Amino acid sequence: MGLIIIRSLFVFIGIILGYYSSTQIDGQINKIEGMAIGFGVAVLIILTELLFRKVSLKVILGGILGFIVGLVSANIIASPLRLVPLEKGIVNFIILLLNAFFGYLGITIGIREGDRFNPTNIKKLFKGAAEENIKILDTSVIIDGRVADVCETEFLDGTIIIPQFILQELQHIADSSDSLKRARGRRGLDVLHRIQKMNHMEVRITEEDFPKIREVDSKLVALGKKLGAKVVTNDFNLNKVAELQGVKVLNINDLSNAVKPVALPGESMRVFVLKEGKESGQGVAYLDDGTMIVVENGRKHISKNVEVTVTSVLQTAAGRMIFTKLREDMEYEFQAAGKN
């Protein structure tokens, strides 16, 4: 509502200025024509503003810069024409054509290239492409979705590369006849769209492919080696393969494990025993963040909430495991030890 009032006021001011201008021009236009011209100019400005609202600032700046460069180039090229013994009207016409051609060319190139403008590109001019902070996302980490949260907090910055073969794999999953796979694929596409909208992130789609390599993971590793980029994943096998070939890896699971609350031996907690464990009598529970809790003698308490005491914590590449005993068993052991 506020913008509508401001725009209406701007149109009214345009009409007043048109009326005032007509009074300053002796007989060339009447007052009605002046008001109409003022109205038309004001509406044109508002329409231009509405058009620019749908265009990013980088594109606008690119177009303006391209237009300026185009005009400068046109006048540099046209300078020798002023020395040619031709009629002034013909020379001015040629100069006008050159300005129109190079100005238009500059705008189109500026708009096309403006969306690529990023502080990272300026950094590349001084430090070289080899030092650019590039990261490649694999399919598993895109579908997982946590990478978008990490990007949003700016713990992950720089340039994100999405290979075309990863997009094709996501599209294939999103078009799957399996409803679960289809939902995972669509979530992955939504995650990419979310990252692309973040102002501090630069997302590039690359057509780079390796036709002789069939597996997507192998293509990712090859692309990482070629670009000197880090591969962002939560795939344990891809992590190991990439490290063996000298490609740096950022594993989202490692980051998640690093920021998980630490469970100390002797600490008590209440858990829900979900299923049977691998060993005889064991029960398995999970924390909200997915950490597995192994409950000794917990099998008889499946589908129940129980009090447990932490005995040890095991950190593995696949995640963190917490080993516990039932609180009643721990109390019994303490009593037995006290009697002895």
pTM (2 d.p.): 0.46
Residue 18 class from Cβ within 10 Å (0-12 exposed, 13-18 middle, 19+ buried)?
Answer: buried
Is residue 38 domain-resident?
Answer: yes
- According to the model, what pLDDT value does residue 95 have? 81
Q: Does 153 score more than 90 pLDDT?
A: no
Residues 136 and 245 in one domain: yes
Share of the chain above pLDDT 90, in %: 11
Residues 287 and 167 in one domain: no
What CATH number corresponds to the domain at position 224? Answer: 3.40.50.1010
Q: Does 130 score more than 50 pLDDT?
A: no
Mean pLDDT of 262-281: 87
Is residue 123 domain-resident?
Answer: no
Q: Does 49 score more than 80 pLDDT?
A: no
Residues 144 and 246 in one domain: yes
Provide the domain count of the chain: 3
238-249 pLDDT, tens digit per residue, is 888 888 888 888
Residue 23: give the domain boundaries. Answer: 2-114
Picking from 257, 288, 317, the residue at the C-terminal end of a domain is: 257
Phi/psi at 175 (nearest 5 deg)? -95, 10
- According to the model, what pLDDT value does residue 131 have? 45
158-189 pLDDT, tens digit per residue, is 788 899 999 999 999 999 888 888 998 999 99
Phi/psi at 290 (nearest 5 deg)? 95, 0
Residues 138 and 225 in one domain: yes
Residues 31 and 106 in one domain: yes
Is residue 122 domain-resident?
Answer: no
Picking from 257, 285, 308, the residue at the C-terminal end of a domain is: 257
Residues 49 and 136 in one domain: no
Residues 78 and 25 in one domain: yes
Is residue 262 domain-resident?
Answer: no
85-99 pLDDT, tens digit per residue, is 767 777 777 888 888
- According to the model, what pLDDT value does residue 295 have? 93
Picking from 114, 147, 182, the residue at the C-terminal end of a domain is: 114
Determine the Cα–Cα distance for residues 7 and 86; give it in Å rounded to an integer.
49
- According to the model, what pLDDT value does residue 59 have? 73
Mean pLDDT of 206-234: 88
Residues 250 and 134 in one domain: yes
Determine the Cα–Cα distance for residues 170 and 205; give it in Å rounded to an integer.
14
Is residue 145 within 8 Å of 193, Cβ to Cβ?
no
Is residue 92 domain-resident?
Answer: yes
126 pLDDT band, cuts 50/70/90, is very low
Is residue 18 domain-resident?
Answer: yes
Residues 146 and 48 in one domain: no
Residues 223 and 276 in one domain: no
Exposed e or buried b for every residue in 96-117, given b needs 16+ CB within 10 A? eebbeebbebbbebbbebbeeb
Phi/psi at 321 (nearest 5 deg)? -120, 135
Determine the Cα–Cα distance for residues 262 and 191; give it in Å rounded to an integer.
29
- According to the model, what pLDDT value does residue 294 have? 92
What CATH number corresponds to the domain at position 318? Answer: 2.40.50
Q: Does 340 score more than 70 pLDDT?
A: no
Phi/psi at 309 (nearest 5 deg)? -120, 130
128 pLDDT band, cuts 50/70/90, is very low
Residues 240 and 285 in one domain: no
Left (φ > 0), alpha (ψ -120 to 50) or beta: where does 50 sit? Answer: alpha
Determine the Cα–Cα distance for residues 324 and 340; give it in Å rounded to an integer.
24
Is residue 209 domain-resident?
Answer: yes
Determine the Cα–Cα distance for residues 196 and 191; give it in Å rounded to an integer.
9
Is residue 124 domain-resident?
Answer: no
8-31 pLDDT, tens digit per residue, is 887 888 788 877 777 766 656 677
Closest CA to 272 of 239, 298, 244, 236: 298
Q: What angle do CA 145, 148, 154 make, to 5 degrees?
A: 150
Is residue 244 within 8 Å of 226, Cβ to Cβ?
no
Residues 276 and 242 in one domain: no
Mean pLDDT of the chain: 81
Determine the Cα–Cα distance for residues 36 and 77; give it in Å rounded to an integer.
40
* Paired strand residues for 310: 324
- According to the model, what pLDDT value does residue 129 have? 42
- According to the model, what pLDDT value does residue 52 have? 66
